[in-house]
Structure 1
Amino acid sequence: MRKVLFVVAFGLATAGCNTIQNKYVDSTGMRGSGTTTFGAMQENGKFSITDEKATCRGVFEWKNPTAVFPVQCTDRKSGTVTMTRPTANASQIAGEGTIQFTDGTERRFVFGKNI
């Protein structure tokens, strides 16, 4: 059985750095939070999501509308994140994504300032 994770991200800006606060509730009602941070030019990104069972983290470069990068979790799970922002306004920090874990489970999420 696959669990689906929905993440809603709210954006905060700091000098030279962007941080999006992630919050989610999965299909079982589990709640968690995390952050996605990256430089002013959307480089050197760091991604994390934490719930009561584990924290998953990864790093990325956001040179295209879609960023694909590996994540490692504290419960020994690993997977691949795919985050996509709209191509119509590539500077907009909003979109959707998935985490595809190597055990076959998947989590879907959305992120951005205007969700």
Structure 2
Amino acid sequence: MKSNIFVVAAVAVCLSSCGFTVPVAVISSNGEVMRGTATAAVSGGSFTVAGKLKGKETKCAGTYNALDQSVTISMPVQCSDGRKGFVIATREANKVDGSGRVRLNDGTEADFVFGKAAAAF
């Protein structure tokens, strides 16, 4: 009985901390590229990208519900220079690859890809 409890506890710890990470690339209309990663785990999802955006070195990040099985999800994003906005991501059937659009409160918009397509950047 004690060994069963140990196995259940070990699985629960792994599920809460284990996850997977995929590359992300944000491409602005003028060709600037920000690179980073998105991580999904049972405990939650997060993403971070860094690079030039409108000519300034910037880091942007956010969190999302990694358990949401919707094809299209929306998540808030906050950047190191004070800009904020929303990310709309559309996932492919495998839920690991996809693309989307970023819209920030200063009017900045950019496209992004994640998963296999982002690995090319």
User: What TM-score results when the alignment is normalised by the length of structure 2?
Assistant: 0.67
**Which 4+ runs in 1 deviate beyond 6 A?**
none
Residue 104 (structure 2) aligns with: 101
Look up the equivalent residue of 1:37 and give its one-letter code: T
Question: d(CA) in 1 for partners of 2:102 and 2:26?
Answer: 13
Bigger relative contact order (CA 8 A; separation at least 6): 1
Question: d(CA) in 2 for partners of 1:114 and 1:107?
Answer: 16
Unaligned runs of 5+ in 2: 1-16
Look up the equivalent residue of 2:84 and give its one-letter code: S
Look up the equivalent residue of 1:93 and give its one-letter code: V
Residue 5 (structure 2) aligns with: none
Aligned pairs for 1:1-115 (under 5 A) are: 16-39=18-41, 44-52=44-52, 53-62=57-66, 63=68, 64-86=70-92, 89=93, 91-113=94-116
Question: d(CA) in 1 for partners of 2:60 and 2:87?
Answer: 10
User: What TM-score results when the alignment is normalised by the length of structure 1?
Assistant: 0.70
Please list the CA deviations of residues 16-72 of structure 1 after superposition, one character each: whole Å capped at 9, or x if unmatched: 211012245544343331110011x5x611011101411001000141122211111
**3-state SS of 1:80 partner:** strand
**3-state SS of 1:51 partner:** strand
Unaligned runs of 5+ in 1: 1-14
Q: Is the 8 A contact 2:88 2:100 kept in 1?
A: yes
Choose between structure 1 and 2: higher strand proportion.
1
Question: d(CA) in 1 for partners of 2:117 and 2:24?
Answer: 13
Identity %: 32
| Structure of greater Rg | 2
